[in-house]
Amino acid sequence: MPDLIHNLEAVQQRIAMAAHVAGRDARSIALLAVSKTFPAEDVRAAHVAGQCAFGENYVQEAITKIEALADLRGTLEWHFIGPLQSNKTRPVAEQFDWVHSVDRLKIAQRLSEQRPDNLPALNVCLQVNISGETSKSGLSVAEAVEVAREIAALPKLKLRGLMAIPEPVGSIDEQRVPHRRLRELFERLRDEGLQLDTLSMGMSNDLEAAVLEGATIVRVGTAIFGARDYSN
């Protein structure tokens, strides 16, 4: 676990440094620790070190972890960031605080219908396919405006902003291009009257580029928890 604490500090330092270069307040950038494939004990250790927001990609794995950490309920914030099928929305609507990966209206409608009345609105981001790769999920930039309007009107959701997973590229200048495109779309939606405050972009390898382009949440897994093992 000492690694984990050291890694968390190192990531916070990277965020602070990039914020400084960008002339931004580092407190305007939240760190989401992506704990997929790592056990509940690692989440607990990160929480002891001061980390509160955790990202998960797989519904069943996440629910098991959330239940194992039920004693920390109220002090942890759970963000769903993986692909979401419409038959798996209910546990997500019931157990999570955020969903970053909303990529179609139908998913949003189900999440809104299934969000329990006693919970606050579920925070959501629209996932946008910013690199234009056919294999990756996400709305096209062209579709995003219309879908954002429809989702913003759903009663039990709060549309917070946009999320993207750009294609990996080498240099920081190249990394900035898709992040800039997402920010431009974000600004356009705000100009059209949508009250958005969240740009979820940047991962272990490109968080500096994302912060330079205005990220408000960076989603970091490997640089905190280490390399993932998908063998089980």
Instruction: Please report, as ranges, the residues that interact with ligand PLP according to CB under 6 A.
Output: 34, 36, 57, 81-82, 165, 203-205, 219-223
* Residue closer to ligand PLP, measured from CB, 34 or 111: 34
The rounded distance, in Å, linking the Cα atoms of 178 and 176 is: 6
The rounded distance, in Å, linking the Cα atoms of 91 and 222 is: 26
Tokens of 182: 């997402």
Q: Between the CA of residue 179 and those of 21, 67, 160, what are the distances in Å?
A: 16, 35, 17
Least gap, CB of 125 to ligand PLP (angstroms): 11
The answer to whether residues 34 and 220 touch, using CB atoms and an 8 Å cutoff, is yes
Residue showing the smallest CB distance to ligand PLP in the complex: 221
Least gap, CB of 58 to ligand PLP (angstroms): 10
Least gap, CB of 50 to ligand PLP (angstroms): 19
* Residue closer to ligand PLP, measured from CB, 73 or 228: 228
Q: What is the DSSP letter of 134?
A: S
The rounded distance, in Å, linking the Cα atoms of 192 and 76 is: 33
* Residue closer to ligand PLP, measured from CB, 130 or 165: 165
Least gap, CB of 117 to ligand PLP (angstroms): 29
Burial of 230 per CB tally in 10 Å (0-12, 13-18, 19+): exposed
Least gap, CB of 130 to ligand PLP (angstroms): 13
The rounded distance, in Å, linking the Cα atoms of 27 and 156 is: 28
Least gap, CB of 219 to ligand PLP (angstroms): 4
* Residue closer to ligand PLP, measured from CB, 11 or 69: 11
Tokens of 77: 């914030």
> At a CB cut-off of 8 Å and minimum separation 6, what does 88 contact?
59
* Residue closer to ligand PLP, measured from CB, 83 or 91: 83
